[in-house]
């Protein structure tokens, strides 16, 4: 706001000015015959002053002035009584108000400097104090689960992880992940420490909407706490895969069996002698491929090829493969061999450095895996594929397609050692990163991390469709706000009325239904408090002392007293009434 006079009734400015000019014109027309007399000019000054005062009374001019109000205390859940006592001892008669979620703070009328005690305000209520000076002191120390993270949507057969943090765990207790039937899938013992991070894994056996459970049990098996872990298990679309090898290997055999068991259509070609091949067909695959052309490759989602076959490609075959990647989104995976790490930049999209490490450790399984003694060179084009923060593979985008490889060696040995789930998890993530993503007409995203009953649940939808309408599972329409910079992005807010699985959908495309889980008030309490604390610390920072807080000052519009304009108006009107009598 600029300094100077500001009219509070700014919208009436031009109409009032026009009326004032009209009144001046009427006066001049009425008194024009007396223009040669001195009294004409005195009456003109009085009339113009009266009209000016009248205009100011309507427009209400005001000036910005510094405003300083008092201090106040806002109490939120989990505040420390000792902090409240200390504040009241320092600031006598300081006003105090308890925060109620969703209700406007009445203390803001009298205070512009606030001491915020406890775990803080809800993120959707922070707008109330954005223009105030706020000192946030936090609250009681949290205990229990303060973070639970996992993928909301998992493909059938893919191993999923639940990573969680527990504050002040009790030695002898256990963290247990169970399925929706109560069967234990994984467990981790608690140790005596300030905060413990745990990783639990599960392998879904069926598709659908499931609510897994994260339990805390004591040594006698009594459930101390229970948190829902809602996960949507989806069946992935079967892929069309071509596998090419110069000779049969255990690596190819087990990978082929893994892909076949997942229901993918697999055509495996193994070279017997020069120009002669053995073909194997699985899950409906047909039509042998002897030479690579764009026409032959465009129908495949993934090409798995060993290093010798890749380096033996002629110019035409390599051009056909690259064109299939660029135009038809073909994904290519090169099975590594010793010769792959010696190829030049012209021969391979990947470059390596020798690191002499032949083993890596995946923390989730505490298992040592064999690898080639090389690592990927840092390159702008190369995209890393990480498993539990360990670099195991990488890919390079080539327009619509991708080409990738790995530094892992003898992965089939994991199956022989009984680690089928580890084998499935790592290969699923590697190949999923390389194959083309399924194009979606409508893409959904949850903005609210922990939806709750009767609280705003914010979501985002992206679509190229025009005039979309989003409805709830009860058929109620949800108003949408279109992004001004990205026209195909829309945002909406819903207030769920029931806990558990809820859904929303685009009314003219029911196939793209979006499901989300709503927690009740007794679930994720510590996590909600932890998220609220983080939001308040981000907004206000961390205040260490009471005395360093100063009152905020800001400019407020203060109207110019109307008494001045009324005085001028009455004096001028009085003179205009009295002047003719004095003249007579």
Mind listing the pLDDT tens digit for each residue in 232-276?
A: 998 878 899 999 999 889 999 999 999 998 889 999 999 888 878
Q: How far separated are the first and last CA of the chain, in Å rounded? A: 53
Question: Who's near 487: CB < 8 A, 6+ residues apart?
Answer: none
Q: Mean of the pLDDT values across residues 12-18?
A: 84
Same domain assignment for residues 376 and 473: no
Q: In CATH, what number is assigned to the domain containing residue 501?
A: 2.60.40.10
Range from 60-74, 266-280, 343-357, 439-453 carrying the lowest mean pLDDT? 60-74
517 pLDDT tier (thresholds 50, 70, 90)? very high
The pLDDT assigned to 69 comes to 63
Among 235, 268, 285, identify where a domain stops: 235
Residue 523 lies in a domain: no
Which domain-ending residue is among 498, 518, 538?
A: 518
Does residue 193 sit in the same domain as residue 119?
no
- Whether pLDDT at 280 is above 80: yes
41 compared with 215, residue with greater pLDDT: 215
Q: Give the integer Cα–Cα distance in Å for 250 and 243.
A: 14
Same domain (yes/no): 61, 76: no
pLDDT at 544 over 80: no
Per-residue pLDDT, averaged over 355-367, amounts to 78
Q: What is the pLDDT at residue 1?
A: 41
Segment 320-329 shows an average pLDDT of: 92
Domain of residue 291, CATH code: 3.40.50.880
**Both 79 and 111 in a single domain?**
yes
Residue 133 within a domain: yes
* 391-417 per-position pLDDT tens digit: 899 999 999 999 999 999 999 998 998
pLDDT value for 556:
61
Inside any domain, residue 178: yes
Domain that holds residue 419: 240-434
pLDDT attached to residue 434:
93
| Domain final residue pick, 434, 450, 469 | 434
Q: Are 470 and 429 within one domain?
A: no
Q: What is the pLDDT of residue 323?
A: 93
- Residue 539 belongs to some domain of the structure: yes
**Owner of token pair 């068991």:** 261
In a domain, 1, yes or no: no
277 & 354 share domain: yes
Mean pLDDT score across all residues of the chain: 86
Asked if 426 and 458 sit in the same domain, the reply is: no
pLDDT, greater one: 518 or 563: 518
Q: Is the pLDDT of residue 472 over 60?
A: yes
Q: Is residue 95 part of a domain?
A: yes
Per-residue pLDDT for 187 more than 90? Answer: yes
Q: 87 and 102 share a domain?
A: yes
| CB 378, CB 350: distance < 8 Å | no
- The DSSP symbol for 421 reads H
Range of weakest confidence among 78-82, 166-170, 519-523, 544-548: 544-548
Our count of domains for the chain comes to 5
Residue 584 has pLDDT above 90, yes or no: no
Quick one: DSSP state of residue 224?
E
Tell whether 161 and 196 lie within a shared domain. yes
> Can you give 159-207 as a three-state secondary structure string?
CEEEEEEEECCCCCCEEEEECCCCCEEEEEECCCCCEEEEEEEECCCCC
Is the pLDDT reported for residue 420 higher than 90? no
Q: Do 278 and 219 sit in the same domain of this protein?
A: no
pLDDT of 334: 94
325 domain-assigned = yes
| 270 and 384 co-located in one domain | yes
Write the CA distances from 163 to 157, 175, 200, integer angstroms: 19, 11, 6
**Same domain as 255, residue 184:** no
């Amino acid at each position: 706001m600029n300094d100077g006079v500001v009219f509070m009734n700014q919208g009436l400015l031009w109409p009032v000015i026009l009326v004032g000019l009209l009144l001046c014109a009427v006066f001049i027309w009425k008194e024009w015959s007396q223009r040669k007399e001195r009294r004409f000019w005195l009456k003109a000054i009085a009339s113009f002053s009266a009209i000016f005062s009248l205009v100011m009374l309507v427009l209400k001019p005001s000036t910005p002035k510094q405003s300083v109000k008092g201090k106040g205390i806002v109490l939120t859940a989990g505040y420390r009584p000792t902090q409240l006592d200390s504040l009241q001892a320092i600031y006598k008669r300081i006003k105090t108000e308890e925060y109620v979620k969703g209700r406007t703070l009445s203390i803001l009328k009298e205070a512009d400097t606030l001491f915020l005690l406890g775990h803080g305000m809800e993120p959707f209520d922070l707008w109330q104090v954005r223009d105030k000076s706020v000192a946030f002191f936090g609250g009681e120390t949290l205990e229990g689960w303060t973070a639970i993270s996992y993928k909301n949507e998992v493909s059938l057969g893919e191993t999923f992880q639940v990573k969680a943090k527990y504050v002040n765990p009790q030695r002898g207790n256990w963290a247990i992940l169970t399925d929706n039937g109560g069967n234990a899938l994984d467990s981790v013992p608690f140790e005596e420490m300030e905060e413990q991070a745990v990783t639990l894994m599960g392998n879904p056996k069926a598709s659908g909407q499931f609510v897994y459970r994260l339990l805390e049990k004591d040594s006698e098996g009594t459930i101390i706490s229970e948190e829902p872990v809602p996960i949507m298990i989806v069946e992935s679309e079967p892929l069309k895969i071509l596998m090419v090898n110069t000779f049969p290997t255990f690596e190819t055999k087990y990978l082929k069996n893994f892909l076949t068991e997942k229901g993918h259509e697999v055509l495996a070609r193994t070279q017997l002698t020069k120009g002669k091949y053995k073909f194997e067909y699985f899950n409906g695959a047909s039509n042998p491929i002897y030479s690579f052309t764009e026409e032959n490759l465009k129908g495949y989602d993934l090409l798995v090829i060993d290093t010798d076959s890749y380096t033996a490609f002629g110019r035409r075959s390599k051009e056909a493969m690259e064109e299939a990647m660029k135009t038809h989104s073909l994904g290519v995976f090169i099975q590594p061999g010793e010769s792959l790490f010696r190829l030049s930049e012209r021969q391979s999209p990947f470059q390596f450095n020798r690191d002499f490490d032949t083993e890596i450790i995946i923390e989730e399984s505490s298992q040592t895996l064999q690898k080639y003694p090389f690592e990927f060179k840092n390159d702008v084009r190369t995209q890393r594929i990480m498993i539990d923060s360990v670099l195991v593979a990488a890919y390079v985008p080539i327009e619509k397609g991708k080409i990738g490889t790995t530094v892992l060696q003898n992965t089939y040995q994991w199956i022989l050692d009984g680690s089928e789930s580890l084998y499935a998890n790592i290969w699923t993530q590697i190949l999923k990163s390389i194959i083309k993503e399924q194009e979606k007409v409508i893409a959904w995203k949850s903005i609210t991390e922990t939806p709750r009953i009767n609280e705003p649940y914010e979501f985002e939808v992206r679509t190229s469709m025009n005039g979309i309408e989003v409805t709830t599972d009860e058929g109620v329409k949800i108003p949408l706000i279109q992004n001004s910079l990205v026209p195909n992005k829309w945002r909406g807010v819903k207030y769920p009325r029931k806990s558990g699985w809820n859904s929303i959908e685009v009314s003219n495309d029911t196939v793209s239904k979006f499901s989300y889980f709503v927690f009740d008030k007794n679930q994720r309490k510590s996590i909600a408090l932890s998220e609220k604390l983080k939001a308040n610390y981000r907004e206000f920072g961390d205040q260490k002392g009471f005395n360093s807080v100063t009152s905020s000052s800001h400019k407020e519009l203060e109207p110019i007293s109307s008494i001045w304009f009324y005085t001028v108006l009455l004096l001028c009107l009085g003179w205009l009434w009295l002047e003719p009598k004095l003249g007579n």
